[in-house]
Amino acid sequence: MRSANTRSTDSTPEKHRSMRLAVALLRRKFTRHTTALSRHRSSTNCLLFCSMATTSSTDPVTPSNTRVGWIGTGVMGHSMCSHLLKAGYSVTVFNRTLSKAQPLVHLGAQLADSPSAVASQSDVVFSIVGYPADVKSVLLDPTTGALSSLRTGGILVDMTTSEPSLAVTISEAASAKGCQSIDAPVSGGDRGAKAAKLSIFAGGDHSVITKLNPLFDLLGKTYYMGGPGKGQFAKLANQITIASTMVGLVEGLVFAYKAKLDVGLFLEAISTGGAGSKSLDLSVRIWESLCLGWHWPSSSISLSKLMGRATWAPRLLFCLLRGSIIFHSILLPNRPDAFSVG
Q: Which residues pair with 186 in a beta bridge?
A: 200
pLDDT attached to residue 301: 44
Annotated catalytic residues are 235
Q: Could you give the CA distance from residue 157 to residue 126 in angstroms, rounded to a whole number? A: 5
Q: What is the average pLDDT across 68-96?
A: 98
Identify the burial level of 215 via C-beta atoms within 10 angstroms of its C-beta, where 0-12 means exposed, 13-18 middle and 19 or more buried.
buried
Please say whether the beta carbons of 117 and 140 come within 8 A.
no
Please say whether the beta carbons of 70 and 94 come within 8 A.
yes
Please say whether the beta carbons of 128 and 187 come within 8 A.
no
3-state SS string for 234-263: HHHHHHHHHHHHHHHHHHHHHHHHHCCCCH
pLDDT exceeds 60 at position 25? no
pLDDT attached to residue 278: 78
Which of 50-54, 187-191, 280-284 tops mean pLDDT? 187-191
* pLDDT confidence bin for 339, thresholds 50/70/90: very low
**Over the range 28-59, which residues count as b (16 or more CB within 10 Å of their CB) and which as e?**
eeeeeeeeeeeeeeeeeeeeeeeeeeeeeeee
Average pLDDT of every residue of the chain: 79
| Structure confidence by residue, pLDDT tens digits, 159-186 | 999 999 999 999 999 999 999 999 999 9
**Which long-range contacts (C-beta less than 8 Å, at least 24 apart) are formed by 308-313?**
310/163, 313/236, 313/240
The CATH number of domain 67-228, selected from 1.10.1040.10, 3.40.50.720, 3.90.1170.50, 3.40.50.2000: 3.40.50.720
Rg (CA), the chain: 34
pLDDT attached to residue 242: 82
Sorted by where each begins, the domain ranges of the chain are: 1-58, 67-228, 235-331
| Structure confidence by residue, pLDDT tens digits, 86-126 | 999 999 999 999 999 999 999 999 999 999 999 999 999 99
pLDDT attached to residue 20: 63
Q: Could you give the CA distance from residue 72 to residue 275 in angstroms, rounded to a whole number? A: 35
Element (H, E) at 40: helix 2-58
Q: What is the average pLDDT across 66-75?
A: 97
Phi, psi of 9 (to 5 degrees): -65, -40
CA dihedral 158, 159, 165, 170 (to 10 degrees): 0
Q: Could you give the CA distance from residue 34 to residue 194 in angstroms, rounded to a whole number? A: 65
pTM: 0.71
| Structure confidence by residue, pLDDT tens digits, 238-259 | 888 887 787 788 788 888 888 9
Name the residue among 149, 208, 211, 214 with its Cα closest to residue 183.
208
| Structure confidence by residue, pLDDT tens digits, 10-20 | 455 565 566 66
